[in-house]
């Protein structure tokens, strides 16, 4: 019965979400009052088949990550989020765990900045949300599992999406590991912290060295301006600013180009090309 109630709640809240409020383009005639099923699935990062089974009560015990992703995509208020977790047979994550929730106020801000590539990370540097512009620029919608962790991408994996000099990359690697050390100290009871650190230490001697280092990196202004090499739009110079949402312990990374410049034109072209590519792959 709880599974049926969970599915009904998701469907009811899906019907009330106006597509334009979550960045979903509206064109032609729509039968759905709110979001289509495939639109919500895309926003939450789950398959349409799985969402269908959840709404119909045929899928049981959704994970904490799935419930959180649905709550975020549905723009649920705090009490509604807590209700969704209860219907899933779970307690909403408390303060002893690294939060992965994007509050409605922050989500509204992200929606208004849709022309800028934006990525949102939790305090473990797990990618928890992006906008269409960032997906188009980075291909992040295809990342799975540990690929969505920025510490892993910077140290073990393919590296950042920007082109960095060896010195800039070293600064970025030291900075992100130092931030993860602060997270580990703040959330000692979260088993995901220990699991991630153990996995990174197993895979990378460099991570082990940075993790045990007593030095904190210096943050130089040069690291804020980055260059991306796009195969069709060319070299794009962008400012990259990271903002901390203290109460929810989020890291919001926003890329921007100075209006009226060639970089702004190339960024717009890259977003259009990337969006078209993503649409053709679906």
Number of domains into which the chain is organized: 2
137 neighbors 270 (Cβ within 8 angstroms): yes
- Residue 261 structural domain: 104-281
Same domain, 153 and 76: no
- Residue 213: pLDDT band (50, 70, 90) is confident
| Per-residue pLDDT tens over the stretch 197-208 | 999 999 999 999
Assign residue 62 the CATH number of its domain: 1.10.260.40
Residue 97 included in any domain: no
Same domain, 73 and 140: no
| Per-residue pLDDT tens over the stretch 18-40 | 887 777 777 667 676 789 899 89
- Residue 227: pLDDT band (50, 70, 90) is very high
Same domain, 134 and 215: yes
**Domain C-terminal end among 60, 87, 114:** 87
* pLDDT (0 to 100) of residue 282: 53
Same domain, 36 and 160: no
160 neighbors 204 (Cβ within 8 angstroms): no
Residue 140 included in any domain: yes
Quick check: 256 pLDDT over 90? yes
Same domain, 47 and 111: no
Same domain, 228 and 132: yes
pTM beyond 0.75: no
Residue 145 included in any domain: yes
| Per-residue pLDDT tens over the stretch 77-123 | 878 888 898 899 887 776 688 988 888 888 888 888 888 999 999 99
Strand order in the sheet with 127-130: 127-130, 118-121, 250-256, 234-245, 225-230
Assign residue 246 the CATH number of its domain: 3.30.450
């Amino acid at each position: 019965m709880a599974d049926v109630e969970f599915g009904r709640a998701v469907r009811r809240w899906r019907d009330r979400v106006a597509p334009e409020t979550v960045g979903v383009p509206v064109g032609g005639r729509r039968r759905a009052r709110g979001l289509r099923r495939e639109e919500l699935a895309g926003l939450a990062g789950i398959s349409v088949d799985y969402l269908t089974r959840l709404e119909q009560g045929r899928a049981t015990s959704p994970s904490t990550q799935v419930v959180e992703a649905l709550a975020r995509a549905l723009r649920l208020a705090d009490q509604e989020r807590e209700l969704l977790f209860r219907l899933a047979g779970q307690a909403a994550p408390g303060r002893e765990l690294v939060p992965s929730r994007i509050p409605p106020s922050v989500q509204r801000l992200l929606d208004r900045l849709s022309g800028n590539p934006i990525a949102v990370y939790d305090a473990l540097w797990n990618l928890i949300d992006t906008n269409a512009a960032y997906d188009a620029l980075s291909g992040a919608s295809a990342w799975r599992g540990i690929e969505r962790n920025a510490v892993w991408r910077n140290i073990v994996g393919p590296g950042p999406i920007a082109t960095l000099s060896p010195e800039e990359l070293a600064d970025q690697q030291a900075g992100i590991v130092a931030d993860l050390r602060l997270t580990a100290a703040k959330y000692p009871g979260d088993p995901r912290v220990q699991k991630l650190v153990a996995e990174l230490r197993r895979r990378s001697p460099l991570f082990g060295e940075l993790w045990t280092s007593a030095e904190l990196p210096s943050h130089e202004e040069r690291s804020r301006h980055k260059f991306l090499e796009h195969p069709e739009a060319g070299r794009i110079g962008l400012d990259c600013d990271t903002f901390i949402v203290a109460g929810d312990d989020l890291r919001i990374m926003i890329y921007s180009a100075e209006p009226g410049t060639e970089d702004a034109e190339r960024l717009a072209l890259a977003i259009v090309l990337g969006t078209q590519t993503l649409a053709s792959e679906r």
